[in-house]
Amino acid sequence: MPDSYVWLEYYAGAPVSKNVKSDELKYSDKHQHGVQPTQTQVNGLQASLTSNVQAVYATYNNAHPGAVVAVPTNADIERGRAVKTRSAR
């Protein structure tokens, strides 16, 4: 039976234009129909998502010193995030 995983994604809009992922968290051993990650598990991934978004913006800004883009706040990232799940063996 497959295990279930959750992660967060944030779309960094133009001009950065990248989907950014958090770390993944295994929230269920073996597939159980209807099981979803808890809000605490989801919120626990926010720090890695914010760190990864900041890194993407830093990379963009270093490559484009004449067109520096403001890094979104943690609150903006949290509001714009999407919760994703998958099953894997």
pTM of this structure:
0.91
pLDDT class for 1, splitting at 50, 70, 90?
Answer: low
What would the pLDDT profile of 42-82 be if each residue is shown by its tens digit? 999 999 999 999 999 999 999 999 999 999 999 999 999 99
DSSP string, 10-46: EEE-TTT-EEEE---EEEESS--TT----HHHHHHTH
What would the pLDDT profile of 6-44 be if each residue is shown by its tens digit? 999 999 999 999 999 999 999 988 766 788 999 999 999
